[in-house]
Every structure is written in structure tokens, then in C-alpha cells.
Chains A and B, each alone.
Chain A
Amino acid sequence: MIAIVSFVVLVLVLLSFGERLTRLAGLRPGPLLERLSLSWTLSIGVVTLAVFGLAALHLVTRWSALLLVGMMALASLGPARDLFRELRGVAWGEILLRRSGWDRVLLALIGLFLAGGLVMALAPPTGMDTGIYHFTIPKVILQNHGLVPRSDIWIHKTGGFYMVYVLGMALGGEIVAKLLAFGMAVAGVGLAASVSERLRSGTGLAAMFIVLSTPLSAGYLGYEYLELPVLSYVLAAFLAVLRSSEGKVWTILACGLTGLALSTKPSAFATGILLPTALGLMLLRERQRGAVTVIASLALFALTAGFWSLWNYATTGMLVYRYPGTSLSASDEGGATLGPWWVGLIRQLGILATLGIYWTDSAGPMIVVGLIGVAVFLWRRESRIAVLLCAASVVGYLAVLVVLAPDYLFTGFGARYLSPSIVGFGGPAAAQFVGWVRERPGPLRTAVLLALLLPAAPLLVLKGGKAAVAAPAAVGLESRSAYLGKKVETFAACEVLNRLPDPNVKVLFAGVRPYYLDRPFVWIPYLGPNAFLGGVTTREEFVRRVREQGITHILHEPGGFRVAPFLESDGLSGPPFREIGRWPWKYDKTVRLYAVEPP
């Protein structure tokens, strides 16, 4: 309940503060949905930078988080009043009920997707990458009151949206952090409608549905991954590009939002295409008069894209810190070549048009249909900017892979990295096409509308199933402990460690998801070599390293691709290691917990 109240207060503050920002920047207000979605995204951008500042200064506490939110609330009392008045005046009945049958179907499906996502957002976090690092790093930042250089956890991998998670966790715990991610995704859906309405009037609802019915959105809505925040920033920047003829501030804003997308997930680098687009369009209009705007835009972009890298440089001497095994490619680390680049290129295009290695790694079929539809039927008739941006981001992404990481062209793993660009640019383009087709009865309309609705069916079944499993935990009928105990193989062992009375417990965590551990730990990642075992060649050296680091317990989870011979063989059997717990894992294997006996 505290989490929900905290989140509702945060929603009001973030929306009002965003409204204050747009007024300060002198931006002409757009339609209500556009204003709300943009306000939310701008506020989240400010929160990201402000919390990062606090984290760099080691001032992150519950009190400093409250002070930050309080200051934002104070600064936006006027806009809050106006916004409340405006929301009361909205004819909700008309918007939701007095619509055509077709719009009602879309609204109902949109509601189902959002409801499924909300249930997932209210349940304790179970996402694989969440437990590995998306929530682990914010938790470590909160525990240390700021950023701490570490070679074991991936804290030097730029993750701007982690700062929003830090704020949520500081104010009301993990559920508030999850709800903030959900709120960001909903803002993205609103922004998709806003962009689409500006490309072709009357297509907002279709755009919302198209974005929500992509495997990417349906899969990650309610989870704590970074793709949907990136998507929201992409759509906000796209909106700013579309409005850039209204004033130079929009161009500066577009560049700042693009930077936020990149600093959230650098592997989504294809979104960077928005920077030259925004600057190029502005310069075409303004010529030499645009020089100051270019400088201001680049300065804001450098700040929003590069703040994490500055901290990396200050602490490691490297702007981009690369952890072993987490690079984009195996080829640049001496890996085998999988084939000629052009074969990989064709293969990767096939992957991008269909699916990556998981069912969530896809922008869905309707976006491809929409992009081709605009190209075939509307090329000379309507705005082409969405199609061109999508094409440019795909070409840019593939070109970078061809030059820097050709082996990556053969894997389906990275399809997710390009999805925010494909959905962000392709979603509104597909809505444009659907809007045009809807007005013209005939076989084309029948086929396209069927193709539009079909993707929702399997995704709603999948989302509904996940939400049904999570619902008892989301509404408090099932405890966090019982729910996570069934979902996360190492959770029970983490609980044992969290409950130990000894305040000096320090864990060597040789498992996948250290998030559930509340005690200080050293992580042995599940893939590649690791810092802890660097230079260790014998069991004696391993024991010495364990003692030097003050390790009191070792948690061992089987599997993974880590390079940790002492842990995979019988290195933990016999003194000074004593097994104190054992829990089932998959494939008849077990998670084991060891105490390190004192010398």
C-alpha cells in the first residue's frame, strides 16, 4: 500500500514538474495526452540527472530522495493545479465509450495489455536481467549512498534509467521502482499516439495498439528492462523533431532526449540517428542562424548521453569500460569468424524481420507490414519521415556491426537492441498505413486489419498467463518470499544469508542473480572470466583470496558460462568450506551454500 501511495504522489509530482519545464522552455502546449506523456518523460530525464548527481556525491538516501521530490513538487504547484482542473474537465465518457465499434475493440485490447503489465509491475521482480544487474546496481548504489567503482558487478555499464530505480527504491522499495518503469512505458504508448497523430490525424489509437502488441512491449511491460524506457525517449525525441518547426527549443530538446536514450542503453546506439536528423532539419530551415542552437543541442546531448561515461573516466580512466564477456562481439576478442559478412547481413535482416533468440526479441510483424505499406502505397502522398528514420537506424546498426562486430550479425541476441528504433519509428509509420487503409473498403483493408489484430491474440494469452501467476503476489495474497521462492532458484539461499545474525557476513556469490541478497557480496558473473579469481591457479591461492577478501559464505549456483574452475570442480569440498544448505535447481542439480570456517 505504501508503494502504491508513493507511486501516485510521484505521478502527480512528475507530471506537474514536466508541465513546469515545458512552460519554462516556452513550448506551446499540445493535446492533453501528448502533454502528459512528454511531461512525464522530461521529468524522468531530470530525475535521472539529479539522482546521478546525488550518487556521484554519495548523497543518496531516503531523505535526499524525499528532498528532491519535495523540491520538484514545490516548483510545480501552479501547473499541478492547472493540470488537475484540466483533467477534471476531460469528457472521459466520450473518449472511452462514444467510439466506433472498431475503436472500441482497439481500446479494449489496449486496456488488456496495460492491465497485464500493471499486474506484473505490482508483483515482486523476477526478470532475469533485473536480478543480474538492472535492479542489483541500483540496490548497491542505495546501500552505498552513491556510485562505487566495482570490477565484479557491471556498474560501469552505462544505465541512466537505474537512477530512476534508485529513486523508487529509496522512496518506497522495489515495487515503486517497478511502477516507475511501468509509468515510463505508458508514457511511451502515449507518445506513440502523439507522434502518429502528427503524421496522420486519427491514427493515435492504432499507434498505441501497434506499440503494445509488439512482442517487445508485451514481453517487457511491467518488467524492469531498459528497452521500453529507451523506446519512450526515442518517441519523445521523434515528437520533438516533428515539432521542431515551432521553435529551436524543440531541436535542443530532441538532442537531449536522444542522449537520454543512449545513456539508458548504449547498445541501442541506432537511436542516435535522431541527433543528425534534428540538427539537419533545423539547419535546413535556419541556415547560419542555427549555429547557437547546434552548440546548445550538442552540449545538452553530451550531458545527457555522457554523464555516466564521465564517472567511468574519473574512476577507471576509460569512458567505455568493458567487462569480460559482455562485449558486443566475440570477433574483436579473437573469437572465430562465423562466415562472410554479407551472409551475416542477410541472416541478421531475417532475424530483425522475424524474431531473435527469445519470443520477446521482436518488433512484431505488423510494423514490417506497415513500413512496406507506406513505401508501396503512400510514398508520394504522406510524410515519409518515420519510414526513413527506421530505415536509417537499421542501416546504421548493420553498418556498425559489419565494421566492428561482424560475428554479431549471425546471432539473434542483439535483435532487442534495435527494437526500440524499429518500434519507435516503425510503430507510427504502421499506424499511418493502417489509418489510410481503414478509410478504403476492399480486400486490402480486410487483410491489413486482420494482420493488425492477429499479433495481439498470442501475446495476450502469454501476458495473461504471466499476470495470472503473478496476481496473488501483486495483490498481497501470496508473500514475496513464497512467490520468489518458486521463481528464483537461489532465493531461498539468499534468504538464509539475509537472516543470519552475524553483521559481518560477506558472500562470494557464484550465481546468476545477486539482487535478492541483502548482504555485502562479491559476484562471480555467470559468464566469462572474473576479477575475483584473477591470478588464482591453485586451491590454496583460492582459499587465501577468500580469506583476504573477508568472505564468510559462498553461494554456488550451477550452470552459466563462467570461468571459475575452483567452483565447478571439487574446490569447495572439504575444509575450510562447510556445506550448510542445499536447494534443488534445474536438471537434478543443486544450489549449495557454504560457510567459510575461520582459520
Chain B
Amino acid sequence: MEQQRAAGEAEGDPRPPRRVALFVAALAGYYIVYYWIFVGRVGEYFADILRHFAFVRRLLP
């Protein structure tokens, strides 16, 4: 694998600026979508916890 990599390095930098720019832009877009959904899921999780707190509160004298 090391040999394979060394051979690869010799082929030159595989990072043409356009490919890098596209990749970084796609990465940013994907993270925005991902965390948009993630925040929603965590919100649902906390809503459930708050409902649970209501249960705990009613346990108190």
C-alpha cells in the first residue's frame, strides 16, 4: 500500500483547484443540511426529556 501511495505521489498533486473548490462547497452544503436535520432530532429528544421532567416533577411531594 505504501508503494502504491508512493507511486501515486509521483503522479503529481491530485488537487486541481476547481475540484477542491467544488468539494469544499459540497462539504459546506452537506454540513448545513445535516445539522439542520440534526438540530431537529435533538429538539425532539429534548422535548421528550421535558415531558419526562413533567413526570419527575409530579413525583415530588
Residues of A within 8 A of B (CB): 198-201, 215, 353-355, 357-359, 362, 365, 368-369, 372-373, 376-378, 380-383, 440, 442-444, 447-448, 451, 454, 458, 462, 485-486, 489, 583-587
Contact = CB atoms under 8 A, between A and B. Distances in A.
7 contacts: A215-B38, A359-B42, A377-B19, A443-B20, A447-B28, A489-B55, A586-B52
Contacts of B24: 443-444, 447
A485 B52 CA distance: 12
A440 B15 contact: yes
Contacts of A354: 33-34, 37-38
Nearest to A589: B55
Contacts of B31: 365, 451, 454
Given A443-B20, A443-B24, A586-B51, A485 B59 contact: yes
A368 B23 CA distance: 12
User: DSSP majority for the B interface?
Assistant: helix
Given A380-B8, A586-B54, 20 more contacts: A198-B1, A200-B1, A354-B33, A355-B41, A359-B38, A365-B30, A368-B30, A377-B19, A380-B11, A381-B7, A382-B1, A383-B4, A442-B15, A444-B20, A444-B24, A454-B31, A486-B59, A584-B58, A584-B59, A585-B55
A381 B5 contact: yes
Nearest to B2: A201
A372 B41 CA distance: 25
A583 B55 CA distance: 9
A586 B41 contact: no
A215 B35 CA distance: 12
Interface of B: 1-2, 4-5, 7-9, 11, 13-15, 19-21, 23-24, 26-28, 30-31, 33-35, 37-38, 41-42, 45, 51-52, 54-56, 58-59
A480 B37 CA distance: 35
Contacts of A372: 23, 26
Nearest to B31: A365
A448 B35 CA distance: 16
Question: Closest 10 interchain pairs by CB?
Answer: A381-B8, A584-B58, A359-B41, A365-B34, A447-B24, A444-B20, A354-B37, A586-B51, A359-B42, A486-B56
A478 to B, nearest CB: 13
Contacts of A443: 20-21, 24
Contact of A377 (B4, B14, B30, B41): B14
Contacts of B45: 358-359
A442 B19 CA distance: 13
Nearest to A590: B58
Given A201-B2, A380-B8, A458-B42, A369 B27 contact: yes
Given A359-B42, A587-B51, A442 B34 contact: no
A357 B45 CA distance: 10
Contacts of B9: 381
Contacts of A485: 59
Contacts of A373: 23
A355 B38 contact: yes
Nearest to A201: B2
A587 B52 CA distance: 9
B32 to A, nearest CB: 10
B37 A355 contact: yes
B19 to A, nearest CB: 7
